[in-house]
Amino acid sequence: MKIVMIPGDGIGPETMTVCSDVLTTISEKLDLHLELIHEIAGHDSLKKYGSTVTEQLLATVKAADGLILGPMATYDFKDETKGEINPSKFFRKKLDLYANIRPARTYPKVPTKMNPFDLVVVRENTEGFYADRNVESGNSEILVTPDVGISLRRITRECCIRIAKSAFELAMTRKKHVTLVHKANVLKITDGLFLDCCAEVAKSYPEVTVDDHIVDAMMAHVVRNPERFDTIVTTNMFGDILSDLTAELSGSLGLGGSLNAGDHYAMGQAAHGSAPDIAGQDIANPFSIITSASMLLNWLGQKYQQPNYLQAAKYIARATEQAIDALEVTRDIGGQLGTKATGDCFVRRLRTM
């Protein structure tokens, strides 16, 4: 299968090199026949083609089986008329990647103040408060006067139903517990619709227990007792914030892998940003992108019924646990190694498994 790999900005190139080595190794080991296609987006593409992303790149991605997108300096990309398009939004919208699956779990050797936990945030990815993906053209954030701005939040039955289905399906493979996160006490119409849709979907999953929390209270619950939660489903912005918190509670944002999945395509992407504060220093944690790549392999394995792809995801998960246990990791999670050395050890470990 063909996988497009885009290193992105900031720590992207260093971590994507490791990710590429890991995929090459697991492909050789389990006969995955992966073909890695290396492309550019973000600042590199802006310099070379005058745009952070191009229609040609989209065509390449559509012709492939999956995409791994590195972190993007989204904050730098302000004016689409100058080619400054947010690549993350571009792929999520163009490929209709509506489900952003963001797991977070603790590991015995990673220092954290939390009780052990293992949860997944399922975040809607194509509407909500994200003004750049709510409308067919333009942007749903409006500057009314120099001193007045309005942001519109779109919530639709279709998007709520499909994200709820993703969450309940996932919960069936886990502890069969779904928590709905919302602000229906204030956003009565939009989050009311979200809750109604989740209740409708829940009827098809009688084995799954359901509870719900208002988003602000949820922050307290997740900090106090993250072990209470299994699968959490929520709208776009709430999911973005909550999943950064859960990744950090697990020990480091550098452990935060994620998958953006639609019905036809999927994109692995670390939950964090481009981390310019640590870029180019060989200290970034590569496990977020390794985990994202492994989630993509798992998605491909399920979609095309390829047991060796499912096996590959399991190998990578086990090797991650073992590497963390052996402290063959970066400093943010208690190790002493640089990004490259962490990757080299990981690849050696995979080969001997």
Question: What DSSP letter does each residue of 230-276 carry, written as one string?
Answer: SEEEE-HHHHHHHHHHHHHHTT-GGG---EEE-SS-EEEE-SS---T
Q: Is 274 in the site for ligand ATP (CB under 6 A)?
A: yes
User: Is the CB of residue 70 less than 8 Å from the CB of residue 12?
Assistant: yes
Of 258, 285, 294, 320, the one binding ligand ATP by CB under 6 A = 285
Q: How far apart are CA 146 and CA 180, in angstroms?
A: 37
Q: How far apart are CA 182 and CA 151, in angstroms?
A: 18
Q: Which is nearer to ligand ATP, 230 or 244 (CB)?
A: 244
- Taking CB under 6 A as the binding criterion, the range among 70-78, 169-177, 222-230, 315-323 that sits at the site for ligand ATP is 70-78
- Nearest 5°: phi and psi at 3? -120, 125
Residue nearest to ligand ATP (CB): 273
- Taking CB under 6 A as the binding criterion, the range among 59-67, 115-123, 213-221, 246-254 that sits at the site for ligand ATP is 246-254
Question: What DSSP letter does each residue of 134-182 carry, written as one string?
Answer: SSSSS-SEEEEETTEEEE--B--HHHHHHHHHHHHHHHHTTTSEEEEEE
Among residues 89, 4, 33, 11, the alpha carbon closest in space to that of 286 is found at 11
Total of residues contacting ligand ATP (CB under 6 A):
19
- Nearest 5°: phi and psi at 166? -55, -45
Of 253, 266, 293, 337, the one binding ligand ATP by CB under 6 A = 253
Of 100, 288, 292, 342, the one binding ligand ATP by CB under 6 A = 288
* Least distance from ligand ATP to the Cβ atom of residue 222, Å: 18
Q: Is 278 in the site for ligand ATP (CB under 6 A)?
A: yes
Q: Is 86 in the site for ligand ATP (CB under 6 A)?
A: no
- Taking CB under 6 A as the binding criterion, the range among 34-42, 84-92, 281-289, 317-325 that sits at the site for ligand ATP is 281-289
Q: Is 123 in the site for ligand ATP (CB under 6 A)?
A: no
Among residues 216, 259, 211, the alpha carbon closest in space to that of 238 is found at 216
CA atoms 182, 188, 194, 198: torsion sign: positive
Q: Is 254 in the site for ligand ATP (CB under 6 A)?
A: yes
Q: Which is nearer to ligand ATP, 70 or 301 (CB)?
A: 70
Q: Is 43 in the site for ligand ATP (CB under 6 A)?
A: no
Q: Is 101 in the site for ligand ATP (CB under 6 A)?
A: no
* Least distance from ligand ATP to the Cβ atom of residue 284, Å: 4
| Amino acid found at 316 | I
Cα 261–chain centre separation: 9
Q: Is 162 in the site for ligand ATP (CB under 6 A)?
A: no
Question: Angle CA(19)–CA(22)–CA(28) in degrees, nearest 5?
Answer: 140
User: 40: alpha, beta or left, given left = phi > 0 and alpha = psi -120 to 50?
Assistant: beta
Q: Which is nearer to ligand ATP, 75 or 304 (CB)?
A: 75
- Taking CB under 6 A as the binding criterion, the range among 21-29, 201-209, 220-228, 267-275 that sits at the site for ligand ATP is 267-275
Q: Is 196 in the site for ligand ATP (CB under 6 A)?
A: no
Which residues are near ligand ATP by CB under 6 A?
10-11, 71, 73, 75, 252-254, 272-278, 284-285, 288, 332
